[in-house]
């Protein structure tokens, strides 16, 4: 099965995201602490699938530029700064709060916080950017999406892919703006890696904000 996935340009970009999303849906549904251990499992599985897909997805590599750093910081500021000014798609809860479940300085609490920080900053950007920016955006332009350069700009695909990314988050408005910024970065630079880096910086800063401000509703 893995060989079949690796041979398909579509499956190799969609399958890691689909598995990641399925495990996200299961989080917290197998008991209170399943929110934590399933996230850890999801991170390990996601990292393994990203590693497996690397030879077939050459655009999935980190690229560093001042635009990527600026975009990552800007999205973090938008995500936090806009939070009080628009309604969310659903009521949020502090579902991922190991400090509240375990004692603050306990090994499980610190371990799950570290897993969440690493998962959101290193694995999530790879999985989501490959799916949304490498596959979905280009597939909306042409079914033979590999023929579409990463730097090609199309208004309809830009707006539609951004909205799809947005409605998959509670913070839909910030997420739509986030998608526009990341996709704009891909189109501007003509490569995916800057968006992966920007996404990683955003998630890393947001994780620090959550941990040090106790803003677990973002998770």
pLDDT per residue, tens digit, the chain (219 aa), is 767 776 899 999 999 999 999 999 999 889 889 999 999 999 999 999 999 999 999 999 999 999 999 999 999 999 999 999 999 988 887 789 999 899 878 999 999 999 999 999 999 999 999 999 999 999 999 999 999 999 999 999 999 999 999 999 999 999 999 999 999 999 999 999 999 999 999 999 999 999 999 999 999
What's the token pair of residue 182?
């990341």
Q: How far is Cα 129 from Cα 213, in angstroms, rounded to an integer? A: 27
List the domain boundaries for the chain: 60-218
List the end-to-end C-alpha distance of the chain, in Å, as a whole number: 33
Longest dimension (CA), the chain: 53
What's the token pair of residue 178?
């986030």
């Amino acid at each position: 099965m893995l060989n079949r996935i690796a041979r398909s340009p579509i499956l190799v970009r969609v399958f890691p995201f689909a598995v990641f999303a399925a495990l996200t849906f299961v989080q917290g549904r197998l008991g209170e602490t399943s929110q934590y251990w399933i996230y850890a499992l999801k991170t390990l599985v996601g990292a393994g699938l990203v590693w497996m897909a690397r030879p077939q997805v050459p655009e999935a590599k980190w690229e560093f530029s001042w635009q990527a750093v600026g975009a990552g910081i800007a999205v973090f500021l938008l995500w936090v700064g806009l939070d009080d000014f628009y309604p969310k798609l659903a009521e949020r809860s502090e579902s991922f709060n190991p400090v509240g479940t375990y004692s603050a300085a306990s090994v499980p609490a610190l371990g799950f916080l570290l897993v969440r920080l690493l998962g959101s900053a290193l694995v999530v950007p790879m999985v989501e950017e490959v799916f949304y920016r490498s596959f979905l955006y280009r597939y909306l332009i042409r079914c033979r999406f590999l023929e579409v350069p990463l730097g090609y700009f199309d208004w309809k695909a830009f707006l539609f892919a951004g909205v799809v990314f947005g409605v998959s988050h509670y913070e839909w408005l910030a997420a739509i703006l986030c998608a526009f910024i990341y996709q704009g970065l891909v189109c501007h630079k003509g490569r995916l890696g800057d968006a992966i880096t920007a996404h990683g910086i955003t998630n890393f800063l947001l994780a620090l904000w959550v941990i040090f401000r106790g803003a677990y509703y973002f998770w």
